[in-house]
A and B are shown apart, each in its own frame.
Chain A
Amino acid sequence: GDSVTQMEGPVTLSEEAFLTINCTYTATGYPSLFWYVQYPGEGLQLLLKATKADDKGSNKGFEATYRKETTSFHLEKGSVQVSDSAVYFCALRLTPNSGGSNYKLTFGKGTLLTVNP
């Protein structure tokens, strides 16, 4: 079945360090890919997305490129801040076959990021 695998956490970095969180996927079709972020005690917020191969999603200094050849969507940020401390989820959504309508998101397990001052 369809699945998302992301690097186990927790990840602990110092402020201004470079961040990479790896995400790979298995899917039967051509999915859209997402990164969501969850701050303590809150729901999920969409961070960025990409809908086709070679697309780059970006937001708030975070970037991820849809790599079909490696089935990956790694999240990167050049200089993290304490306020980036959160749990990050990689997710995919399949494009339903003609006539289909299943738009459910399939999530990875999440990666806890802690940024120290």
Chain B
Amino acid sequence: KAGVTQTPRYLIKTRGQQVTLSCSPISGHRSVSWYQQTPGQGLQFLFEYFSETQRNKGNFPGRFSGRQFSNSRSEMNVSTLELGDSALYLCASSLGGKETQYFGPGTRLLVL
């Protein structure tokens, strides 16, 4: 069974731009969670989607948003990028949320 895939793997943007990241979960998984990883703050929960609905949200500004499609694929969007948004963005999927979360390889975003 294929694992969690994320595209693109690397991205360079400039301040003020916006970016969209994509995550395809393991087949059959309906829950997708997003995490931000930075050297200073470590791994922080962004949000979780289940059946096309945002079920939980972390403590991030409204510039961070996401959505989930009927095939469980998810996208996250960051608008008006700031230098501090440079990070590795990890997506994780699980069957319904309470099961083990499996992570993708991440998208490394650099904001210049």
Contact = CB atoms under 8 A, between A and B. Distances in A.
Interface stretch (B11-19, B61-69, B75-83, B100-108): B100-108
B112 interface: no
A42 interface: yes
Contact of B31 (A49, A89, A103, A109): A103
B24 interface: no
Interface of A: 34, 36, 42-46, 49, 89, 91, 95-96, 101-110
Contacts, number: 56
Given A43-B105, A43-B106, A49-B100, A102 B56 contact: yes
Given A104-B45, A105-B45, A43 B97 contact: no
Nearest to A95: B98
Contacts of A49: 100
Given A42-B105, A103-B97, A103-B98, 20 more contacts: A43-B6, A43-B90, A43-B103, A43-B105, A43-B106, A44-B92, A46-B101, A46-B102, A95-B98, A101-B50, A102-B56, A103-B31, A103-B33, A103-B48, A104-B33, A104-B45, A105-B43, A107-B42, A109-B42, A110-B42
Contacts of B98: 95-96, 103
B22 interface: no
